Structure 1
Amino acid sequence: MAPVHALDRYYLGITLLVTVGWQMLGFFIAWTLQFDKITDFTGGSNFFVLALLTLLIGNTFYARNIVASILVMIWATRLAGFLLYRVLKMGSDARFDDIRSHFLKFLGFWIGQIVWVWTVSLPVVILNSPAVSDPADGGSNPGFGTSRDIAGIVLWALGWVIETVSDAQKTYYKSTNPPKNKPNTYGLWGWSRHPPYFGEMLCWWGIWILTISPSTNGTLTGGARAAQYGAVVSPLFTMLLLMFASGIPTAEKPQARRFFLMSHNVQGDVDHGAWAEYLAYLESTSILIPLPPSLYRVLPRILKRTVLLDFPMYQFDERTDGMQALEEQRRDA
């Protein structure tokens, strides 16, 4: 059977329509019932839907297409399952407390989720499309098992293991009722302050590397080859999102604020060692790339702030952020 030619030869239109429909269905349910149980699950599961859909309608079951699609579906299943488990256990997601009852603000989150899913799925969507895989449209089966293929799979596997293990370790750590005045340094969290984000970045770089291999065959049209390389926006978007938007920035300062207030609590319940403990943790724990604390601790600060990505924008300033936190605490007291 020939591939289904749906809207365009790269499957960009059909996958956008499916993503919009899937997310708007989730939004309608979440808004109507005013709960968070399916919000993250809808995002994660959407990746599974797009990978499976394009593989089936592409109908060119080459080894590369199958492997890449399965890797995306494995990643999506774990992510969606973990996030669903977490929100069911917590009962709600505090991230949405300020927007859940505001139609346009809540809708804005779901629109952002549409952009995230569709953009990050591009490598596997384009790989499965007729433009790349259908011989009648200039595509071909260039074989499988090149060194680039192996590199992509290894990178994905390393990222998936880091992401999976670190999420499991954090879940276990929280179940032990740990002391509130000490940061989590259990397992991978002692080597990185955000190991799941690092793992996710590796996964999508691995997927992109795996999916661009057919372009080395030389039979693809210039447009198809350019589209495959252009799909680099997927891992780049993942990195930008986690480093400058919904990832590290939403975690670093709030956590620092919590430890700062433990040591400067205007209500009298003060733990003077909490802030010092946290500052020592920052000096010995890499923000993203896992490194042994003994090594990270002795590295020059300039290296940490540049090559190792611990940018000044993540830093909690005691004079500005700290004073603002204390003022807010006084108003809420």
Structure 2
Amino acid sequence: MLELLLATAGLVLSVVIVLWGVSIAIRDVSIIDMAFSSIIAGVIVFVYWYSNASGQAANVTLGLVIIWALRMTVYLVNRNWGHGEDVRYTKLRSWVPEGWPFYWFSLRQVFLLQGAVIWVLTLPQQIAFVSAPETAMTILGWIGVALWGIGFFFETLGDWQLSRFRADSSKNGTVLNTGLWRYTRHPNYFGELAQWWGLLLIVAHVPWALVGAVGVAIYSWLVVRVTGKATLEKKMSREKPEYAEYVRRTSGLIPWFPKA
């Protein structure tokens, strides 16, 4: 077990350091976002191979992670490629002097941080695959598959609706409040977290895998309180006056009917 965890930690560390070097060369820190899901899929594939997993639970987990990663990678590359560095990272450049002070800063605050998130997020699957590589699906596991499916639907459709909204110049300066966005202010974030909690349930029959739930909890906290929902809502509140009314009427994360 320890040997596997050290191997995956080394694998993730090596990949993020290489990406850090590439980001310096092309002056674009946001490449880590486009690679995030692919690195996770790579970790899961490596652990699946390393543990000789052949059970139904491992096979289902592997398939769902690959589907998630393919969709996410295609979406983010299509959205970000050729559009320059994400404004969040461009803003970081004003915090420290350019050159190596910023390079070291981006390594600590972006690349190593995301690498740590990737490693802890996949802990349940790492532990389950190596501890019980041949286990079958349980009732709880199929509930996890259903939760993953709900999350995939919300994230995929939410991203598609947002892309269409942004592409319509007549909607500039307005707030997206139709489709799934009528029932939650962040269908994509809700979908993302639902998928990872669903993946946790699939391997929850392996007792030690539940220790890895701390990774999913940390990821959820970061998405809701730090890098995702909270940051985006501050930005939207500054830029769009009508966003306050949207916040009053619409559920923050878990889909629900809007208030009158």
TM-score w.r.t. length of structure 2: 0.90
The answer as to whether partners of 1:23 and 1:43 remain within 8 angstroms in 2 is no
Among all aligned residue pairs of Structure 1 and Structure 2, give the percentage whose two residues are the same amino acid. Answer: 25
Alignment match, 1:185:
177
Q: CA deviation at 1:65?
A: 0.8
Instruction: Give the partner amino acid of 2:120.
Output: T
Could you tell me which runs of 5 or more consecutive residues in structure 2 were left unpaired when the two chains were aligned: none
Instruction: Give the partner amino acid of 1:281.
Output: Y
Alignment match, 1:124:
125
Does 2:203 correspond to 1:205?
no
From the superposition, tell whether residues 95 and 147 of structure 1 become closer, same or farther in structure 2 (CA, over 3 Å).
Answer: same
The answer as to whether partners of 2:120 and 2:216 remain within 8 angstroms in 1 is no
For residues 64 and 50 of structure 2, the distance between their equivalents in structure 1, rounded to whole angstroms, comes to 18
Q: CA deviation at 1:43?
A: 1.5
What SS class does the counterpart of residue 169 from structure 2 fall into? coil
Instruction: Give the partner amino acid of 2:103.
Output: F
Q: CA deviation at 1:234?
A: 2.7
Alignment match, 1:233:
214
Larger radius of gyration: 1
Q: CA deviation at 1:37?
A: 6.0
Does 2:242 correspond to 1:250?
no
1:288 corresponds to which of 248, 253, 260: 253
Alignment match, 2:15:
22
TM-score w.r.t. length of structure 1: 0.71
The answer as to whether partners of 1:22 and 1:42 remain within 8 angstroms in 2 is no
Q: Report which structure shows greater RCO (CA 8 Å, sep ≥6).
A: 2
From the superposition, tell whether residues 37 and 205 of structure 1 become closer, same or farther in structure 2 (CA, over 3 Å).
Answer: closer
Could you tell me which runs of 5 or more consecutive residues in structure 1 were left unpaired when the two chains were aligned: 134-140, 216-224, 260-274, 299-333
For residues 149 and 197 of structure 2, the distance between their equivalents in structure 1, rounded to whole angstroms, comes to 11
The answer as to whether partners of 1:170 and 1:186 remain within 8 angstroms in 2 is no
- How do residues 62-81 of structure 1 correspond to structure 2 at under 5 angstroms? 62-81=55-74
Q: CA deviation at 1:89?
A: 5.2
The answer as to whether partners of 1:26 and 1:39 remain within 8 angstroms in 2 is yes
For residues 32 and 181 of structure 1, the distance between their equivalents in structure 2, rounded to whole angstroms, comes to 35
The answer as to whether partners of 1:23 and 1:42 remain within 8 angstroms in 2 is no
- Cα deviation 1:283-302 (Å, max 9, x = unaligned): 21111111222xxx15xxxx
From the superposition, tell whether residues 121 and 147 of structure 1 become closer, same or farther in structure 2 (CA, over 3 Å).
Answer: same
